[in-house]
């Protein structure tokens, strides 16, 4: 049976070590900021975890129970399969991040790398806060503009992709309007995009093209992803992901 462009999109992402820009160093840096501000971390919900590039770091660098949540079960299967040694410390949940069954006030930390945009930054922060214990933290990465004005082509691209993109000061303001206090924010390095995300993506697309099993729709999937890579390569000084570390006060 011929796979649709959407099925191939998932297959490409299932073949990659992570599904968004990031790195061990970036996850570690955000986690260290929380550790400096909280004596204990017993429960972490990792929302939109994908196949869990960041979850591996959270498992290794904390003793917390981790609830890894995504709406694509194959990503959760990969994560669980790779981390059997952690036993019940890692619990996976296939759910919609807009409608979670996580217990109210049960989490010390909510983690979300490259995923909150799916329900919108401000909406996500508002709804997920209810899962935090008093004084708990949300650590989320979000795409941001690095300056106040952008070339028209880039504006148009993001208008279509994610109109909620904004500058870091405006993201901090948005977070604080939801009642959270922003403890820290930092821009992720270009290596998080190129070395850890787009280089593996290019290799996977190449392997699909060279595969003896020809998928007619791979050209459609590849064209969309390659357009995204081109925009990043052209405008990498204009936008990035920023990590925001926020506290429930």
Ligand X SMILES: C[S@@+](CC[C@H](N)C(=O)[O-])C[C@H]1O[C@@H](n2cnc3c(N)ncnc32)[C@H](O)[C@@H]1O
Segment near ligand X (CB under 6 A); pick from 70-78, 176-184, 187-195, 211-219: 70-78
Torsion (CA) 173, 125, 193, 67 in degrees, nearest 10: 150
* Closest distance to ligand X from the beta carbon of 179 (Å): 23
**Residue 215 interacting with ligand X (CB under 6 A):** no
**Residue 96 interacting with ligand X (CB under 6 A):** yes
**Residue 192 interacting with ligand X (CB under 6 A):** no
Comparing CB distances to ligand X, the nearer of 115 and 175 is 115
Segment near ligand X (CB under 6 A); pick from 49-57, 129-137, 162-170, 175-183: 49-57
Closest CA to 193 of 60, 26, 29: 26
CA 110 to each of CA 17, 82, 102, 247: distance values in angstroms, whole numbers, following the listed order:
22, 22, 11, 10
**Residue 72 interacting with ligand X (CB under 6 A):** yes
Residue partners of 146: CB distance under 8 A and separation at least 6: 167, 168, 187, 237, 238, 239, 240
**Residue 114 interacting with ligand X (CB under 6 A):** yes
**Residue 70 interacting with ligand X (CB under 6 A):** yes
Contact residue for ligand X among 50, 108, 121, 248 (CB under 6 A): 50
**Residue 28 interacting with ligand X (CB under 6 A):** no
Query: What is the residue-wise DSSP string for 55-120?
Result: HHHHHHH---EEEEEES-HHHHHHHHHHTGGGGGGEEEEE--TTS--PPTT-EEEEEESS-GGGT-
**Residue 71 interacting with ligand X (CB under 6 A):** yes
What residue ranges bind ligand X (CB under 6 A)?
A: 18-20, 22, 48-50, 53-54, 70-72, 75, 96-98, 113-115, 118
């Amino acid at each position: 049976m011929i796979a649709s462009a959407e099925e191939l999109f998932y297959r490409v992402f299932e073949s990659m070590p992570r599904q968004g820009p990031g790195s061990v160093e970036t996850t570690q840096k955000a986690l260290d900021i929380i550790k400096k501000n909280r004596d204990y971390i017993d429960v972490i919900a990792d929302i939109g975890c994908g196949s869990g590039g960041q979850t591996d770091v959270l498992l290794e660098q904390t003793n917390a129970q981790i609830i890894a949540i995504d709406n694509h079960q194959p990503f959760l299967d990969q994560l669980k399969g790779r981390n059997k040694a952690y036993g019940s410390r890692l619990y996976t949940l296939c759910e919609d991040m807009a409608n979670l069954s996580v217990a109210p006030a049960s989490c010390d930390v909510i983690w979300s790398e490259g995923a909150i945009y799916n329900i919108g930054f401000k909406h996500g922060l508002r709804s997920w806060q209810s899962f935090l214990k008093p004084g708990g933290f949300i650590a989320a990465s979000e795409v941001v503009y690095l300056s106040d004005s952008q070339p028209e082509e880039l504006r148009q691209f993001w208008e279509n992709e994610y109109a909620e993109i904004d500058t870091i000061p405006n993201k901090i303001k948005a977070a604080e309007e939801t009642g959270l206090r922003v403890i820290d924010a930092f821009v992720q390095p270009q290596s998080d995009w190129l070395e850890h995300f787009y280089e593996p993506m290019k290799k996977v697309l190449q392997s699909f093209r060279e595969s003896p099993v020809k998928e007619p729709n791979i050209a459609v999937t590849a064209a969309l992803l390659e357009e995204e890579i081109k925009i990043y390569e052209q405008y990498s000084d204009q936008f990035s992901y920023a990590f925001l570390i926020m506290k429930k006060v």
